[in-house]
Amino acid sequence: MVIVVQQLAINNRRLKDDFNELANIGTTVGGGISRLALSNEDLEGRAWFANRIEEAGLLVRDDEVGNLSGVLPAHQRDARTLLMGSHLDTVLNGGKYDGTIGVLAALECLRTIKEAGLELPVHLEVINFTDEEGTWQSFFGSLGFTGALQAKHLNDAEVDNGAFRAALFRAGIRPSEVHRAKRRPADLVGYLELHIEQSETLALAEKQIGIVTKIVGRSTYNFNFHGEATHAATTSRYKQRDALQGASRFITAMHDMTHADYPEGVVNCGDIHVKPGAYNVVPELASLQVECRHHDESILSEMESRLIRLAQDCAKAHHLTVIVQSVLRRPVAIMNPHMVDTIQAVCDEQQRTQMPIISYAGHDTQILSPFVPSAMIFVPSQGGISHSPREYTEWKDIEAGANVLLHIILKLAAEA
Ligand SMILES: [Zn+2]
């Protein structure tokens, strides 16, 4: 099939109007957006999206985990589907761009292709994945889509399970039915996601497009340092078994280690609980939640074992014991090489400046990538700020990203 569409471009005005309209749903006082997954605002955002899909003459499709899609069907009913999209949910008081531009740009590409009357040999589907941001369960929609949702995801001790279930029911999602959302990889050509970079690599390098090569792997642990609660003033300093001192030593040491030995790795302790929690009692328990990320699977594993050894050494130095619990492990996601080459080719054709880039943030693409060939395109984030009302991407960059996406879709569809 020959598609003569070199000049085809998205309708920039229509995309911008969509963006501005959607930004009115869940607006916060400071100009941010709160569309927490399954909240009233999120449901309102989905209803708005379903209306846009119908208005464009596309088919509305929803599944058992609440993913909402618009489909431009191919003539052949048994054709495979090329999938693209992102998420319309946000963090609390987040920005207008994260997730949103990926869904809206994909919708605009489908409208453009439909209007041009192109007959493609694949179905095109734009998808909004449920709860990418993890208000209840990170990647709930994409995990359901790939059949990777497990009972523990619905019974997570970290969240109020009753409230989660109530929120699911309210959104029409029945926990006993979520397994039905699983799609068959054989039915899919691949998945494409356009997203803001969320760091400032592209902006500093003055490049328009980031071609994601991998998404970092990630590991989260609970480190529980156990000591003894005694009188803080009368217990001899040498006899104190202060859980917090051991934990503090560990936090400093793990940052030093990462800085010195793993400059491309990331480590963070963002949550500490101390017991009994009184100013005059030596802490008997310090619980830390620690996360590490790296783009190389074997280095990530090495970082994990060294963190555990370091925690044991720090515990020993303060006469403590430490119990280590793995909470989450997501492997490094490698983007599909052919799709990466296709993005590169489209950038060359459109004379867009581009660079390869590693994503340090998580995306639905990392859940999709072991399931179907997947790739991601980044556009610059000014100041590298995201999850904030100050999140900002220049409109010309969004327009460029959407036009790159359009022609990647056309190339991949033509060869399918
Ligand atoms: Zn996002």
Q: What is the pLDDT of residue 7?
A: 87
Q: What is the pLDDT of residue 1?
A: 47
Q: Calculate how far, in angstroms, residue 35's C-alpha sits from the geometric centre of ligand 1.
A: 12
Q: Calculate how far, in angstroms, residue 45's C-alpha sits from the geometric centre of ligand 1.
A: 15
Of 204, 114, 131, 112, nearest to 171 by C-alpha is: 131
Q: How is residue 141 written in tokens?
A: 């929609």
Indicate the pairing of strand 188-196 with strand 374-379. Answer: parallel
Count CB atoms within 10 A of the CB of residue 40: 12
Q: Calculate how far, in angstroms, residue 364's C-alpha sits from the geometric centre of ligand 1.
A: 8
Over residues 206-216, the pLDDT tens digits come to 999 999 999 99
Q: What is the pLDDT of residue 158?
A: 56
The whole-model pTM stands at 0.92
Q: In the predicted model, is pLDDT for residue 263 greater than 90?
A: yes
Q: Calculate how far, in angstroms, residue 91's C-alpha sits from the geometric centre of ligand 1.
A: 9
Q: Which residue has the higher pLDDT, 125 or 239?
A: 125
Q: Which residues contact 196 (CB under 8 A, 6 or more apart)?
A: 97, 98, 101, 378, 379, 380, 381, 386, 391, 393
Q: Calculate how far, in angstroms, residue 139's C-alpha sits from the geometric centre of ligand 1.
A: 10
Over residues 142-161, the pLDDT tens digits come to 999 999 998 777 765 455 57
Q: Calculate how far, in angstroms, residue 66's C-alpha sits from the geometric centre of ligand 1.
A: 17
Q: Calculate how far, in angstroms, residue 386's C-alpha sits from the geometric centre of ligand 1.
A: 9
Mean pLDDT over 313-332 rounds to 96
Q: Calculate how far, in angstroms, residue 101's C-alpha sits from the geometric centre of ligand 1.
A: 9
Over residues 81-133, the pLDDT tens digits come to 999 999 999 999 999 999 999 999 999 999 999 999 999 999 999 999 999 99
Q: Calculate how far, in angstroms, residue 277's C-alpha sits from the geometric centre of ligand 1.
A: 36
Q: What is the pLDDT of residue 159?
A: 53
Residue 53 near residue 67, CB atoms below 8 Å: no
Q: Which residues contact 296 (CB under 8 A, 6 or more apart)?
A: 264, 332
From CA 66, how far away is CA 364, in angstroms rounded?
15
Mean pLDDT over 341-350 rounds to 97
Q: Calculate how far, in angstroms, residue 90's C-alpha sits from the geometric centre of ligand 1.
A: 8
Q: Calculate how far, in angstroms, residue 132's C-alpha sits from the geometric centre of ligand 1.
A: 7
Q: Calculate how far, in angstroms, residue 387's C-alpha sits from the geometric centre of ligand 1.
A: 9
Residue 218 near residue 330, CB atoms below 8 Å: yes
Lowest mean pLDDT among 56-65, 139-148, 170-179: 170-179
3-state secondary structure the chain: CCCCCCCCCCCHHHHHHHHHHHCCCCECCCCCECCCCCCHHHHHHHHHHHHHHHHCCCEEEECCCCCEEEEECCCCCCCCEEEEEECCCCCCCECCCCCHHHHHHHHHHHHHHHHCCCCCCCEEEEEECCCCCCCCCCCHHHHHHCCCCCHHHHCCCCCCHHHHHHHHHHCCCCHHHHHHHCCCHHHEEEEEEEEECCCCHHHHHCCCEEEEEEECEEEEEEEEEECCCCECCCCCCCCCCCHHHHHHHHHHHHHHHHHHHCCCCEEEEEEEEEECCCCCECCCEEEEEEEEEECCHHHHHHHHHHHHHHHHHHHHHCCCEEEEEEEEEECCEECCHHHHHHHHHHHHHCCCCEEEEEECCCCHHHHHCCCCCEEEEEECCHHHCCCCCCCCCCHHHHHHHHHHHHHHHHHHHHHC
Q: In the predicted model, is pLDDT for residue 369 greater than 50?
A: yes
Please report which confidence band the pLDDT of residue 5 belongs to, taking 50, 70 and 90 as the band edges.
Answer: confident
From CA 317, how far away is CA 14, in angstroms rounded?
63
Residue 114 near residue 32, CB atoms below 8 Å: no
Please report which confidence band the pLDDT of residue 362 belongs to, taking 50, 70 and 90 as the band edges.
Answer: very high
Alpha-carbon Rg for the chain, nearest whole angstrom, is 24
Q: What is the pLDDT of residue 155?
A: 63
Q: Calculate how far, in angstroms, residue 88's C-alpha sits from the geometric centre of ligand 1.
A: 8
Q: What is the pLDDT of residue 156?
A: 54
